[in-house]
């Protein structure tokens, strides 16, 4: 196993190295031979909580406002801490322990921090988690519950990112921040591609929709399908209108992604302005283009509608970011960019429990009754709701 720069192709022995020493480019794990790796080939013994192997659920027919006949949800909410970040963190931490790390540091918009705190607790090592001060309270509560030191940093995510670099440098702890910083974490995301491929019986989907911050998940899906050697699905990097640096560059046909100004969106998991590491976005854009896909932004209202389709229409409780993939797929189906028979996979990346304050602002069917109320009051309310198709 070696580390190779994706830009200048300089290669390095496998150590805790976070960027190319020659050009500052991001590093990927490369292996001798052509055998695609399983997680066991990456890391052993793994610090594990039972991550990976998540279900691929077909959409309930009739639940989509703009129909699609072959659409699946890759339900990453089922991972141990409630997001796909568990895949990266388990691999990054296990590798770091073999290099002798005594603790971990992680900058996060919430989910990576919750995951890192969970796996640190599992490994019995200290964790320092840095999050923007306006992170959803549910995510901060989860981080603190796992016993980590929770550091609320003023301003947006990129400030937490910069501070994590400094803390890792001073402490010698491994930095498991889940941008492209830690190549061992990103490498484990290939399994997402492998799982989708296998779950569809080798029938490669036409489109995979990926909620995208800096883009390791895009790379994981890309590499996973590349490992399988077949056709490549078109990858769609989904961002929120209020923080869409990669979409902006895609639409302007620019070669490089520029950092975003002030993010403003309910999709906290992809609220990443890339300040100080816009190069990550440029690399992700390159992969998206190579796959023949695109980058698309969705509004907070489109995300809210998709959250309702997922929860009330399909029984999948997702945080806003997790529903952004479906919002984008619906938008492209409605515009006719995608035909109703094309095969679509939407990555549902994070659990609704992580941000359920948003659900409290959405319309629900709810009544309050006195203890001695007659059941007819409830039956009346039930009849007022209409058939399940109309509930969404």
Ligand X SMILES: *Cc1c(COP(=O)(O)O)cnc(C)c1O
Distance CA 284, CA 216 (A): 8
**Considering only residues 76-135, where is the footprint of Zn ion by CB under 5 A?**
none
Distance CA 126, CA 195 (A): 32
Q: Which does residue 22 bind out of Zn ion, ligand X, none, counting CB within 5 to 8 angstroms by kind?
A: Zn ion
Cβ closer to Zn ion: 8 or 377? 8
- Residues at the site binding ligand X, with contacts judged by CB under 6 A: 83, 85, 111, 211-217, 269-270, 319, 321-322, 349-350
Distance CA 73, CA 196 (A): 10
Residue 33 Cβ vs ligand X, minimum distance, rounded to whole Å: 27
Residue 44 Cβ vs ligand X, minimum distance, rounded to whole Å: 24
Cβ closer to ligand X: 67 or 76? 76
Place of tokens 């594990």: 48
Is the C-alpha dihedral spanning 211, 213, 219, 220 positive or negative? negative
Mask for 18-37, x = binds Zn ion (CB under 5 A) = --x-xx-x------------
Does residue number 373 form part of the binding site for Zn ion (CB under 5 A)? Answer: no
Residue 372 Cβ vs ligand X, minimum distance, rounded to whole Å: 45
Q: What angle do CA 228, 229, 232 make, to 5 degrees?
A: 95
Does residue number 8 form part of the binding site for Zn ion (CB under 5 A)? Answer: yes
Q: Which does residue 25 bind out of Zn ion, ligand X, none, counting CB within 5 to 8 angstroms by kind?
A: Zn ion
Cβ closer to ligand X: 138 or 319? 319
Phi/psi of residue 109, nearest 5 degrees: -90, 10
Residue 17 Cβ vs Zn ion, minimum distance, rounded to whole Å: 11
| Under 8 Å between Cβ of 159 and 131 | no
Beta bridge partners of 294: 236
Cβ closer to Zn ion: 2 or 137? 2
Q: Are strands 2-5 and 11-13 parallel, antiparallel or unpaired?
A: antiparallel
Which candidate, 266, 236, 231, places its Cα nearest to that of 250? 236
Residues forming contacts to Zn ion in the complex (CB under 5 A) are 5, 7-8, 10, 20, 22-23, 25
């Amino acid at each position: 196993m070696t580390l190779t720069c994706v830009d200048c192709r300089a290669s390095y022995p496998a150590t805790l190295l976070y960027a190319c020493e020659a050009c500052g480019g991001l590093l990927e794990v490369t292996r001798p031979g052509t055998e695609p790796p399983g997680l066991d080939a990456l890391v052993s013994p793994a610090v594990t909580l039972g991550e990976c192997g998540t279900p691929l659920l077909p959409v309930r027919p009739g639940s989509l406002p703009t129909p699609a006949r072959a659409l699946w949800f890759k339900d990453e909410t089922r991972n141990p801490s409630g997001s796909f970040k568990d895949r990266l963190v388990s691999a990054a931490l296990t590798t770091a322990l073999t290099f002798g790390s005594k603790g971990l540091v992680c900058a996060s918009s919430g989910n990576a921090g919750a995951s890192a705190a969970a796996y640190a607790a599992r490994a019995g090592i200290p964790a320092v988690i840095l999050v923007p001060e306006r992170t959803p309270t549910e995510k901060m509560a989860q981080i603190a519950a796992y016993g980590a030191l929770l550091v609320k940093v003023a301003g947006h995510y990129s400030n937490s990112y910069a501070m994590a670099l400094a803390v890792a440098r001073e402490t010698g702890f491994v930095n498991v921040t889940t941008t492209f910083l830690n190549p061992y974490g990103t490498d484990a995301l290939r399994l997402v591609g492998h799982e989708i491929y296998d779950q569809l019986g080798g029938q490669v989907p036409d489109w995979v929709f990926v909620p995208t911050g800096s883009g390791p998940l895009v790379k994981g899906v890309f590499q996973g399908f590349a490992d399988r050697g077949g056709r490549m699905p078109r990858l769609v990097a989904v961002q929120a209108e209020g923080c869409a640096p990669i979409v902006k560059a895609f639409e302007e046909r620019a070669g490089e992604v520029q950092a975003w100004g002030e993010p403003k969106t309910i999709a906290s998991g992809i609220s990443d302005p890339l300040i100080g590491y816009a190069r990550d976005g440029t690399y992700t854009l390159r992969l998206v283009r190579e796959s023949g896909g695109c980058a698309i932004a969705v509004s907070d209202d489109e995300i809210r509608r998709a959250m309702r389709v997922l929860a009330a229409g399909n029984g999948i409780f997702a945080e806003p970011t997790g529903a952004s993939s479906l919002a984008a797929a619906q938008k492209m189906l409605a515009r006719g960019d995608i035909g109703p028979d094309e095969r679509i996979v939407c990555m549902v990346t994070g659990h609704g429990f992580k941000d359920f304050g948003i659900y409290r602002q959405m319309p629900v069917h709810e009544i309050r009754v006195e203890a001695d109320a007659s059941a007819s009051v409830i039956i009346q309310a039930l009849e007022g709701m209409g058939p399940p198709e109309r509930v969404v």
